[in-house]
Structure 1
Amino acid sequence: MHLGKVFNTVVTALNVALPQSQTNGASKWGSLEAPTFPKFLRSNPLPGGYPWGNCTASGTNQYKEVPYTGVTRHYDFTISRKTLAPDGVTRSVIVVNGQFPGPAIEANWGDWIEVKVHNGLDYEGTAIHWHGLLQKETQWYDGVPSVTQCPIAPGTTFTYRFRADLYGSSWWHAHYSGQYAGGVLGPMIIYGPNHVDYDTDLGPVFITDWYHRDYLDIVEDVMSTNATKVRAAGVSDNNLINGRMSFDCTKTDKNCKKNAGVSNFVFQPGKKHRLRIINAGAEGLQHFSIDEHEMTVIALDFVPVEPYKTNVLKLGIAQRADIIVEAKRNSTRKSFWMRSVIETDCTPSNQPEAVAVVHYGPGRPSTTIMPSSQPWPDNSTACVDEGIDVPRPLYPIAPAPVPEKTFTIDITVGQNETGHTLWMMNNSTFRADFNDPLLLAASNGRDKFDPNSNVIDAGQAKSFRVIVNNRTPASHPMHFHGHNMYVLAQGSGEWDGVVKNAHNPLRRDTFVVPGALPPNTGANQYFVFQIDGDNPGTWPFHCHIAWHASGGLFVNFLERKNEVANLNIPYTIKQTCDQWDNWSRNHVVPTIDSGV
């Protein structure tokens, strides 16, 4: 792949300069009116200093020590449908508070966050997952229907309340079928200790593949018995940065507005800028870069890392990276392209490259002249993320050398009796029961579950290891809820038992396992991770490609089940199930996919 190649083709097709100030998604993200962000929120009732006290990034184990701030941050979300044209092509978008991407959640490390969610959709349930947070002691607010709660029924309201127990950059998104691919997502910024200084925090940079069809139509094709429809379902139409990127209108006969605009960022010469890169797409693995600017990576997911430099950053779905970019002090250029490119060897796309403009201040920049900057060379075609060798967690933690339990999961593809192609984990595909959440069932003492629930019982293990063998040609960004995984090994064939960086392995909540090598040329791809069994609950482990999760690539780990019975689950969880039961008895619930 060569960054810039695709966009040059698009520019030729458009044949005009791109206006920079459109707000087609009804959001300020990516506009010149977008806010910058502080080092921390100063509304905590403290006489001075940091809200997290003496905790530091290099000297505090954030899994065991969370500061107490005494503050609750309140948010109010309304989910509804709205006709928008984020890239110039008009379509129905599911929005939060009327905008795509949705509003930001901000908190200091240790704050409580309370979000009241109103479901304004006519015929769909919903639920929201707060990606990457541990949810210790609030397991029921993890936001996965059929696992930790029933869906929020249309016309009803549900309030989530959880702790900002980790810090850094993440996102919130719907976890109901493929709904987040329709627009239900937004940034989550939790301020905490910094180990690398910077001058300005420019905030979230959402990179998202984009589809002109409604997510329900795509899910229907994903679940089709027609192989042609299944293959075409995952072909995105465009790629967006903060909800913007002009689509080449010559490629469609739909209502398409030329020159819909791209996102904008402003750098100050000689200053260091923090950006929070979030791959919030449905399928596309992304290569992110800024022409002629080196990036320093300081965190991956919610884990501060020893700083390292790169020109091109690779992020699978749901992964995040905090970067610092130092602007040139004396540049002859006044603007540069920011680029994010879908790796088309993994995922096809009709327009895989998104761009934004980085302007140099001071003053309000011109938005009529396109940059002439040159892209970094990028010849990588592997469907991988940043890997496990270079990123080293800043605070070292060594997992238990001998886990109490070990599980092996084989990822395969199979067909059911009706001819539907489904993703399998140990020859079983997941199917949600919206009316019977696993956490509630386990808390009531149930220890036998429907095979379609894909429950793996980890017992009372204080640590357990999982060997994942990917025997499919597709790569999978695998996400574990309620934990950061210790990533112990990754490679081809069968794992030889050797642990990488045993004293301080990579920690992430999402890791990309590449696709199996072609037949007769190699074997499966594996990755091995370990979990500290310190969070009683029912925790999903699934592929974060929306269409793969729809196809059943999803299991649940029942962790410390003897303690699950002692969880103090609020009455509102049962009340939400009662509301869903009442609604679903009188309406058809289109459960054509796994439901998650």
Structure 2
Amino acid sequence: MKLLTSLAAIVSVSEAFVLPAERLSSELSTIEERQTADPECVHGPQTRRCWSGGYSVATDFDLKHPETTVTRSYTLTITNSTCNPDGNGERLCQLINGQYPGPTITADWGDLLSIKIINKLEDNGTAIHFHGVRQLNTCGADGVPGITQCPIAPGAEFTYLFRATQFGTSWYHSHFSNQYGDGVVGAMVFNGPATSNYDVDLGPYSLTDWYYATAFETSMQSMISLQTQGGPPKANNILINGTNKNAAGGGAYNEVAITKGKKYRLRLINMSVDQYMRVSLDGHKMTVMTSDFVPIKPYVTETLLIAIGQRYDVIITANQTAGSYFFRVDPAADCFAANDHFGRAIWTYSDVSPSTPPENPWPVPTTQCLEPSEMAPYWKQAVPSNSFSSDVTRLNVNITTGEFLPDPDTIVVWAIDDQNINVNWSRPTVSFVDEGDTDYTPEMHVMHLQDEGKWNYYLIQQTGSAPPIPHPIHLHGHDFFVLGQGSTAWDGTATLNFATPPRRDTATVPGGGWLAIAFPSNNPGTWLLHCHIAFHIGEGLGMQFIEEAGKIVKPHGYDETCSSWRAYEKGMYYPKHDSGL
């Protein structure tokens, strides 16, 4: 049963709060035609490329974005609860405003957001990360405990303030250990232009694996299994917008009504703990128009592979015989972490009654867990190639031994360059920066980015000591250009794409393979890079970048949040047992 209570998020319009001035990298602002104003361009069903005020889908939001005077205010209260999303039975959950998934945060491109988090959990801290949001000059709103803030203690609250400089679809989730697997997740929609026309926006379609054990139980099972290089626990189900039938036939499918001849926008979000997914709608092809927040040149496909943390906005045209059709969300078997369960929803044309659809799936392609090759950004931008060979930094994903302080035991961990990340909740990286202390501890796993305006190149690869499984790599504070991927060891002979590279904020290192990315330094902050398999970042697979340290500003409420957390931590019931992320 899908848990949906009345929306308790408070949305309001108020005077704009003050943010640091947005800055643009001069090295990126050379393509003036992308910024040509068109005051007659008005957003509508046949003109989705348009927005308002001369902004359109041709506007690269890294270079320019609206700055409205509207503030969207939300209050999100996190509580201990129980939930039963697939009818299998109640289990302990942690919910936002009493519902799963949490309320959808909605704003227009250029709006300001004020999001108050009230922690009413009994024995857990929390912090909320807004996945893929650039947080331009607002690093303190990135929501990463031990890096950008202290956790929000039980009984305390914290308000995140930032501007929606991007448009599109994403999600927010707890970054406090594996907490989001217990329900602390929700969708985000930043309304803006699009590269393809449509009639109806169906809103977010959240896709997630679901475990009958709690997130902290499964994370401990995964860590114990890792000690012998075994696999993590398998999920018990896959949910679509918080519901599905269970193996015994209980529960309920998500249902969608469509009208023949209409074009529907669907916002797909993989919110899983540990599950790559392949999605499709029987008999209907999809026109893909975004990858993560980035608009792309539309292309048509029958199925779509979605890594953990990735989003795709697609257009589906209701152009088939009236009836009911299965929307399928299947484990991606070529991405290792397949379970034995499948997500299903039923889409029905409005002039017939819903019924159990026939089995008519599209053929399943074999991709070796590589990203779709058709993703060409709508904004054509080349990446400088002349300094790649001299400036590229290799990051080796491997398994080694390490500690998760304060626990002194040495255990098997996931790592980058033989170092597992392990944050100190009570002294985040921002505190080091604010105090001018550069004596970073090894377990903080800090690396400095290039100076403002210069390009950063990273080659992330798996080494022989790691099982050959894919890792969805997510970068905070930036999206990046994907110069190339490969499913075998990097040998320097692959041809990289500097001319028209895909661009996104989450991309896969294939099992036993490599991923090459590039991005410019243009956003001061302390930014986490990590595998978005929740078990893996909990087991150490991450590191952090410090960018333009002299321009990093602590957010309002930072010191109070740390004070309340330090007081709570002295007697907290559940000690930290993993990386803290």
TM tier, smaller: 0.7 to 0.9
Selected match of 1:408 from 394, 402, 406? 394
Q: Give the CA deviation at 1:309.
A: 0.6
Mind listing any 5+ residue stretches in structure 1 that lack a counterpart? 1-22, 30-40, 250-257, 517-524
Selected match of 1:500 from 488, 496, 502? 496
Q: Give the CA deviation at 1:422.
A: 0.6
Aligned: 1:233 with 2:224: no
Q: Is the 8 A contact 1:146 1:437 kept in 2?
A: yes
Aligned: 1:338 with 2:327: yes
- Matched residue of 1:487: which SS? strand
Q: Give the CA deviation at 1:219.
A: 1.5
- Equivalent position amino acid for 2:245 in 1: S
Q: Name 1:74's counterpart in structure 2.
A: 73
Selected match of 1:583 from 565, 568, 571? 568
Q: Name 1:476's counterpart in structure 2.
A: 471
- Matched residue of 1:452: which SS? helix
Q: Name 2:21's counterpart in structure 1.
A: none
- Matched residue of 2:243: which SS? coil
Q: Name 2:542's counterpart in structure 1.
A: 554
Aligned: 1:278 with 2:269: yes
Selected match of 2:455 from 449, 463, 467? 463
Q: Name 1:12's counterpart in structure 2.
A: none
Q: Name 2:241's counterpart in structure 1.
A: 242
- Matched residue of 1:126: which SS? coil
Provide, for residues 345-400 of structure 1, a one-character-per-residue CA deviation record: whole Å limited to 9, x for no partner.
434455331100001014xx634x201151101142623332xx311000112223
- Matched residue of 2:557: which SS? helix
More deviation, 320-329/148-157: 320-329
Alignment of 1:340-379 (within 5 A): 340-362=329-351, 366-367=353-354, 369-379=355-365
Aligned: 1:175 with 2:161: no
Q: Name 2:520's counterpart in structure 1.
A: 532
Q: Is the 8 A contact 2:384 2:498 kept in 1?
A: no
Q: Is the 8 A contact 1:150 1:577 kept in 2?
A: yes
Q: Is the 8 A contact 1:27 1:102 kept in 2?
A: no
Count of residues in Structure 1 that have an aligned counterpart in Structure 2:
535
TM-score, scaled relative to structure 1 = 0.85
- Matched residue of 2:564: which SS? helix
Q: Name 2:506's counterpart in structure 1.
A: 510
Q: Is the 8 A contact 1:94 1:182 kept in 2?
A: yes
Q: Name 2:29's counterpart in structure 1.
A: none
Aligned: 1:592 with 2:545: no
Q: Is the 8 A contact 2:134 2:478 kept in 1?
A: yes
Q: Name 1:316's counterpart in structure 2.
A: 307
Identity among equivalent pairs (%): 34
More deviation, 476-485/488-497: 488-497
- Equivalent position amino acid for 2:353 in 1: S
Q: Is the 8 A contact 2:393 2:457 kept in 1?
A: yes
Q: Name 1:391's counterpart in structure 2.
A: 375
More deviation, 345-354/479-488: 345-354
Distance 1:73 1:86 in 2: 29
Change (3 A) 1:408 1:47: closer
Distance 1:509 1:135 in 2: 13
The CA RMSD over aligned residues, in Å, is 2.4
Q: Is the 8 A contact 2:13 2:73 kept in 1?
A: no
Distance 2:274 2:41 in 1: 44
- Equivalent position amino acid for 1:582 in 2: A
- Equivalent position amino acid for 1:453 in 2: M
- Matched residue of 2:392: which SS? strand
Q: Is the 8 A contact 2:226 2:413 kept in 1?
A: no
Alignment of 1:252-331 (within 5 A): 258-328=249-319, 331=321
Q: Give the CA deviation at 1:416.
A: 3.5
- Equivalent position amino acid for 1:474 in 2: I
Distance 2:227 2:127 in 1: 30
Q: Is the 8 A contact 2:225 2:231 kept in 1?
A: no
Q: Give the CA deviation at 1:191.
A: 0.8
Distance 2:391 2:137 in 1: 24
TM-score, scaled relative to structure 2 = 0.87
Change (3 A) 1:411 1:582: same
- Matched residue of 1:297: which SS? strand
Provide, for residues 323-364 of structure 1, a one-character-per-residue CA deviation record: whole Å limited to 9, x for no partner.
0011116x1x411000010123434455331100001014xx
Distance 2:479 2:525 in 1: 15
Q: Give the CA deviation at 1:499.
A: 5.3
Q: Is the 8 A contact 1:151 1:576 kept in 2?
A: yes
Q: Give the CA deviation at 1:570.
A: 3.1
Distance 1:190 1:217 in 2: 34
Provide, for residues 44-75 of structure 1, a one-character-per-residue CA deviation record: whole Å limited to 9, x for no partner.
999995664111112x1210101111110011
Q: Give the CA deviation at 1:227.
A: 4.6
Q: Is the 8 A contact 1:52 1:68 kept in 2?
A: no
Q: Is the 8 A contact 1:234 1:547 kept in 2?
A: no
Distance 1:377 1:184 in 2: 34
Change (3 A) 1:125 1:28: same
Change (3 A) 1:499 1:449: farther
- Equivalent position amino acid for 2:99 in 1: Q
Distance 1:527 1:99 in 2: 37
Distance 1:497 1:440 in 2: 43
- Matched residue of 1:224: which SS? helix
Q: Is the 8 A contact 1:296 1:325 kept in 2?
A: yes
- Equivalent position amino acid for 2:553 in 1: N
Mind listing any 5+ residue stretches in structure 2 that lack a counterpart? 17-38, 44-50, 404-408
More deviation, 374-383/446-455: 374-383
More deviation, 541-550/419-428: 419-428
Distance 1:543 1:195 in 2: 30
Q: Give the CA deviation at 1:149.
A: 0.4
- Equivalent position amino acid for 2:483 in 1: L
Change (3 A) 1:449 1:43: closer
Change (3 A) 1:430 1:42: closer
Q: Is the 8 A contact 1:178 1:216 kept in 2?
A: yes
- Equivalent position amino acid for 1:247 in 2: N
- Matched residue of 1:512: which SS? strand
Distance 1:48 1:394 in 2: 18
Q: Name 1:254's counterpart in structure 2.
A: none
- Equivalent position amino acid for 2:328 in 1: R
Provide, for residues 81-122 of structure 1, a one-character-per-residue CA deviation record: whole Å limited to 9, x for no partner.
221110112211211000001110111100011111111111
- Equivalent position amino acid for 1:485 in 2: F
Selected match of 2:435 from 423, 444, 453? 444
- Matched residue of 1:547: which SS? helix
Distance 2:435 2:258 in 1: 55
- Matched residue of 2:230: which SS? helix
Q: Is the 8 A contact 1:409 1:467 kept in 2?
A: yes
- Equivalent position amino acid for 2:395 in 1: I
Selected match of 2:4 from 22, 26, 37? 26
Q: Name 2:23's counterpart in structure 1.
A: none
Aligned: 1:203 with 2:203: yes
